[in-house]
Amino acid sequence: MTNLLDQPYELSQEAIDFYQKNRYIKLKNVFDTKTLAYYGEKISEKVAKLNKNDKPLNQRDTYGKAFLQIFNLWLQDEVIKEFVFSKRLAKIAADLMQTDGVRMYHDQALYKEAGGGITPWHADQYYWPLSTDKTITAWIPLQAVPLEMGPLEFSAGSHVIVEGRELSISDDSEAKIQQKLRVTDFKHVIEPFDLGEVSFHSGWVFHRAGANQTNDMRKVMTVIFMDKDMILKQPENENQVNDWQTWCPGAKVGDVINSPINPILWEK
Contacts with 185 (C-beta within 8 Å, 6 or more apart), sequence order: none
**Amino acid type, 7:** Q
Check residue 1 and give its pLDDT: 60
Q: Which of the residues in the chain have pLDDT under 50?
A: none
- pLDDT for the residue 78: 97
- Cα torsion at 71, 76, 79, 69 (round to 10°)? -20
Q: What is the pLDDT of residue 63?
A: 85
Residues 6+ apart with CB under 8 A from 97: 134, 135, 136, 202, 225, 227
pLDDT in tens, 113-131: 999 999 999 999 999 999 9
Predicted pLDDT of residue 55: 87
In CATH, what is the architecture of 2-267?
Sandwich (2.60)
Domain boundary assignment for the chain: 2-267
Residue 51: per-residue pLDDT: 94
SS3 209: strand
Please tell me the predicted confidence (pLDDT) of residue 2.
66
pLDDT at 53: 86
CB 146 within 8 A of CB 192: yes
